[in-house]
Amino acid sequence: MSTLRFQALKETLNRKAVEVKEPARRSEIFSKNVFNEPVMRQFLTKDSYKSVMDAIEYGTKIDRNLSDHISTGMKEWAISKGATHYTHWFQPLTGSSAEKHDAFFETVGDGAAIEKFGGGALVQQEPDASSFPNGGIRNTFEARGYTAWDPTSPAFVLGTTLCIPTVFVSYTGEALDYKAPLLRSLQALDNAATDVVKYFNKKVTKVNATLGWEQEYFLIDSALAASRPDITLAGRTLLGHPPAKGQQLDDHYFGSIPTRVLNFMRDMENECMLLGIPVKTRHNEVAPNQFELAPIFEEVNLAVDHNLLLMDVMDKVADRHHFKVLFHEKPFAGVNGSGKHNNWSLATNEGTNLLSPGSTPMKNLQFLTFFINTIKAVYDNEELLRASIATASNDHRLGANEAPPAIISVFIGSQLTEVLDELEKVTDGKLSPQEKTELKLNVVGKIPEILLDNTDRNRTSPFAFTGNKFEFRAVGSTANCANPMTVLNSIVAKQLKDFKSQVDQLIKEKKMKKDDAIFNVLREYIKESKKIRFEGDGYGEAWEKEAKKRGLSNNKTTPQALKVKVSDEAIKLYESLGVMNKVEIEARHEIEVEEYAMHIQIEGRILGDIARNHVIPTAIRYQNILIDNVRGLKEIYGNDSYKKFASEQLGIIEDVSTHIEKINKAITEMINARKEANKLENMEDRAFAYCDNVRPFFDDIRYHCDKLEILVDDELWPLTKYRELLFTR
């Protein structure tokens, strides 16, 4: 086995950077493989084009008679791009994207054939996808699920396949994917936000949520990855002693990018360009072999699709460069993990960023309205927001011993804190003319100026305001952003609806002026949501204590965090907005707890196998070498004095035995705990059993394996070591 490790190392050391062909200008290839507006104008009739555009803008239904024209235009374009097949591209609750390819090719009798793609095949498909998780929504007796075209995210050609973004729903209408609830939450947010914007600008007809994600990832050589069964099967190392040098020196962060990696990035970015994914920045991250990329932000639904597509493209391009991308939140213990910051804002159809302070007091009141409402929404629903990012792999990043806590708080910076402190003092009831002038001049009017030099950037906050957007940083690097975005959109939509009705009530019943009413409601929100605001070190122990005093949740594990998703309040929230119904919510919870249990089960099996089949036999082999050595010493020096020369060896022989015993015992106990957990029929109970009774053995087993790693002869050790995984490129 150790031969595999050394072979992999040799292979890695001999790698050459793979050459990449760059276009003269990237802008020239941008969106070349996307069926976007200009292309539609070229390939569709006027009527068809208009009906697609209306569907995108106003959500109107596409006329059945036109869908044949649209699909034909789409097919002709796709064939011109080299496509032979088409697929409905969807996002089942497994976390990745799914596709089933069909050829355009069809026989028409007499040995002749044509390329065909009818409107029906574009609009709706019935993949036989009964094996995707559905949480009991579709049992075998019920109708199957179907995928339906989402025209708001443009079709694209990937390789030789035309991919059509779709939602995946059951025949009874329940969402079986991430996209359907996301689209509904965006609709709810649009309605609520547009109503509120009208206080400030009557001409606004639509509000889009925007998302700019930042994707962190590790890259390791594919041969090294293949030499580790834990990386291959679990996407992370389940054991491995920390290297002598880790990230202490911060010498990787923003350092020069190694050529092999840079070529991978360039290749991947060019693929992204073709697919219309507007990638913009790239750099080294804190941990060795960790990197990040970020695009220009887009409308949320499109940005979510692009992130999923990107992860797929990264995998494929990495293959060409003999790399494996590790998206896992914590592939290596002791060094930084990976996240996917979700930068989120709201933009009107006129292009105004509602979370960007403006040039006039009125625009700033609009800014403050959306700013404060978002903070209030996060405060009222902090636990739900935490639940939206809860997965077994993200548990290693949140609430674990070397990671930020699982507490949601909001950072806004000292200047905006001052503004909110001032606003908190405004008069209860109608504001006097002096007070208004004073507010306009000294508080609201000053915002743009102060934000420009607002340089304090708190990197430890899970939800930070960064000048013109909120950045939800606690999202895991493997996540489908649709999940946290659906929650954020929904809670802000609900909050804005409440705000609107409270302001209207003050105007109607207390005969207040609009501004006065807005100031009055905002003042109360500032007071009510104060506990969620935290400007200090979010990673410190003091904060955990303080947060507890404030009554903020700190759900460290996924089963615990997920509980709130099926609470009465959560169900009421989603149902009132039309985002999800009770059946869908409960099905999702069921899927997530089951997924958690399976995840821990699989990791437990892998760890048990590696420890028993790789580590223990290696340790015994090494122990035998020592035993031979001691026997030889005894032969030479005789019974009386050999111990003088063999004492260290004897010590190691004993240590090896102790570690072996501890490992084997813990594995046996872990297996028993798994058996007990598997007996539990209720999936939530099972998830808790895996979390509380199975998972704790991991650390123990790992500890003793890692001790053996530093005892045993390096030549014998079968598992590629941390220093090799993290520092070879």
211 contacts ligand ADP (rule: CB under 6 A): yes
The dihedral built from the CA positions of residue 502, 503, 507 and 510, taken in this order, carries a sign that is: positive
Q: Which of these ranges, 46-54, 225-233, 288-296, 379-387, lies near ligand ADP under the rule CB under 6 A? A: 288-296
Task: Strands of 493-595 (E only): list them.
Answer: none
Q: Given the complex with ligand ADP, which of 182 and 725 has the nearer CB atom?
A: 182
Radius of gyration of the chain (CA): 29
Q: Given the complex with ligand ADP, which of 168 and 367 has the nearer CB atom?
A: 367
Q: How many CA atoms lie within 13 A of 148 on its CB side?
A: 14
340 contacts Mg ion (rule: CB under 5 A): no
- For ligand ADP, what does the binding mask look like between residues 429 and 468, x meaning CB under 6 A? -------------------------------------x-x
The closest residue (CB) to ligand ADP is: 212
From the list ligand ADP, Mg ion, none, partner contacted by residue 380 (C-beta under 5 to 8 A by kind): none
307 contacts ligand ADP (rule: CB under 6 A): no
Q: Given the complex with ligand ADP, which of 239 and 346 has the nearer CB atom?
A: 346
Question: CB 455 → ligand ADP: shortest distance, Å?
Answer: 11
Question: CB 352 → ligand ADP: shortest distance, Å?
Answer: 10
Contact 581, 574 (CB under 8 A): yes
Out of 322, 469, 659, 704, the residue judged to bind ligand ADP by CB under 6 A = 469
State how far the Cα of 491 lies from the Cα of 378, in Å rounded to an integer: 7
Backbone angles phi, psi at 455, to 5 degrees: -100, -10
From the list ligand ADP, Mg ion, none, partner contacted by residue 124 (C-beta under 5 to 8 A by kind): none
User: 647-653 contacts: CB < 8 A, separation 24 or more?
Assistant: 652/623, 652/626, 652/711, 653/623, 653/626, 653/627
212 contacts ligand ADP (rule: CB under 6 A): yes
Count of helix runs (H) and strand runs (E) in the chain: 26, 17
- For ligand ADP, what does the binding mask look like between residues 335 and 364, x meaning CB under 6 A? --------xxx-------x-----------
The amino acid at residue 514 is K
Q: Given the complex with ligand ADP, which of 373 and 618 has the nearer CB atom?
A: 373
Q: Given the complex with ligand ADP, which of 91 and 345 has the nearer CB atom?
A: 345
341 contacts Mg ion (rule: CB under 5 A): yes
Contact 410, 464 (CB under 8 A): yes
Total residues contacting Mg ion by CB under 5 A comes to 1
Pairing of strands 101-103, 279-284: unpaired
From the list ligand ADP, Mg ion, none, partner contacted by residue 296 (C-beta under 5 to 8 A by kind): ligand ADP
Question: CB 267 → ligand ADP: shortest distance, Å?
Answer: 21
Indicate the SS3 state at residue 89.
Answer: strand
State how far the Cα of 175 lies from the Cα of 583, in Å rounded to an integer: 10
Q: Given the complex with ligand ADP, which of 51 and 415 has the nearer CB atom?
A: 415
Tokens of 8: 């992999």
Helices (H), 275-400: 300-320, 361-380, 382-387
Question: CB 341 → Mg ion: shortest distance, Å?
Answer: 4
From the list Mg ion, ligand ADP, none, partner contacted by residue 340 (C-beta under 5 to 8 A by kind): none
Q: How many CA atoms lie within 13 A of 673 on its CB side?
A: 24
Angle at 584 between CA 579 and CA 589, to 5 degrees: 110
134 contacts ligand ADP (rule: CB under 6 A): no
* DSSP letter, residue 620: H
Instruction: Provide the binding-site residues for Mg ion, judged by CB under 5 A.
Output: 341
Instruction: Provide the binding-site residues for ligand ADP, judged by CB under 6 A.
Output: 210-212, 214, 294-297, 343-345, 353, 466, 468-469
